[in-house]
Amino acid sequence: MKIKDSIRVFFINVTCGYGSTGRIVTGLYEMLEDQDITCMAAYGRGVAPEGYDTYRIGTEMDVNIHGVLSRITDRQGFYSTRATHELVSVIKRFDPDVIHLHNIHGYYLNVEVLFDYLKTSGKKVIWTLHDCWSFTGHCTHFEFIGCNKWQTGCGSCEQLREYPKSILADATKRNLEQKKRLFSNVPGMQLVTPSEWLAGKVSQSFMSAYPITVIPTGIDLYTFQPTPSKLREKYGLEDKFVILGAANPWRDRKGLEDFKKLSRVISDRYKIVMVGLKSRQAAQLPPEIIALGRTDSTQEMAKWYTAADAYVNLTLEDTFPTTNIEALACGTPVITYRSGGSPESLTPECGIAVPRSNMEAVVAALDTLRADPVDPQACVDRASLYGGNERFNEYFEKVYEKILY
């Protein structure tokens, strides 16, 4: 169904066309253009692909200055004043009907300037939240350390050295108070989250008054599908039950230490392969683990997902990891912790969710899959629900159509 030709949508995100959120922006852009809607995308870092009407917010120097000042003052999101005033001027000239925000953190945007404009602009606003930064005083995630200060008032932050890193000041109390003032009472704003877990956290925060729609992140099902290769032969894995782990970057909160623990408690019938490691991290792993560096090739990852007998995601905090879906799309079952939105893409037919940091439960799940292998087609069928085009169409049906009519 096409709607009137005069509709215009303006996107704002830290990147455009690359990274998970950047690809979502260009995917939505293309979907809306197919509906004869005119789009423009503003971004803060990197470069944008050709073929889209885009605007770079500020310069690389602006990003660097914002980053340095944030490390000193813990005020990420409150610099880049000139660049954001210029962005507002661009928005006014484009004159959109809808402004669709994605990640507005990343050292490129002044949230005070932006939201002072949004509250008086008369524009409809959609904000897709990809993490928890909008309703905390500093961090993008808090589940790893079990922090609930975002509900009562931040301060004495335990995660100052985590992104967005601060090495001197703790402004978390002030940041949260200002975010509450700025991000509340935006007329008609609609929120979107990729997981029920994040929607639940938002509903417990000061942003609970806004309507929330859950739309899972989709993947490219043309790339991620069963992809035969010679990887098992290349690495001598023919008679092993292959456990695959992948992250970028690997950190303890992504399961790095837990994979080391797992390697010490599994039998030699199993073999762990970890993808995405830095050379220093690889050197510190037990020799029993096959340690591989980062790959930017989605085709290479599809081969590894297919070669593995199980994709094991030991993340201790995550909004909605698409690696789980990528593995399923390649016919491989998933074992993951009950952490954040990680279990939400699984069913008993294609995966197992276990308690956080419970190695006995992980090993038991591996033994179950080894003794009673999952039907690869059941995994592929489950992943088919998360095709990128289907999710973009869901945006149109659940969000855009409602606010444009």
Q: Do domains 8-218+388-404 and 231-385 have the same CATH topology?
A: yes
305: enclosing H helix or E strand: helix 298-307
Q: Where are the domains of the chain?
A: 8-218+388-404, 231-385
Distance (Å, whole) CA 133 – CA 131: 6
Distance (Å, whole) CA 393 – CA 282: 41
Geometric angle at alpha carbon 46, from 256 and 117, rounded to 5°: 105
Whole-angstrom CA distances from 381 to 161, 226, 332 are 41, 12, 11
pTM for this model (two decimals): 0.95
DSSP annotation of 387: B
* Domain 231-385: CATH class, spelled out: alpha beta
The answer for residues whose C-beta is within 8 angstroms of residue 19's C-beta and 6 or more apart is none
How does pLDDT run along the chain (405 residues), one tens digit per residue? 444 457 999 999 999 998 889 999 999 999 999 999 999 999 999 999 999 999 999 999 999 999 999 999 999 999 999 999 999 999 999 999 999 999 999 999 999 999 999 999 999 999 999 999 999 999 999 999 999 999 999 999 999 999 999 999 999 999 999 999 999 999 999 999 999 999 999 999 999 999 999 999 999 999 999 999 999 999 999 999 999 999 989 999 999 999 999 999 999 999 999 999 999 999 999 999 999 999 989 999 999 999 999 999 999 999 999 999 999 999 999 999 999 999 999 999 999 999 999 999 999 999 999 999 999 999 999 999 999 999 999 999 999 998 887
What homologous superfamily is domain 8-218+388-404 in, according to CATH? Glycogen Phosphorylase B; (3.40.50.2000)
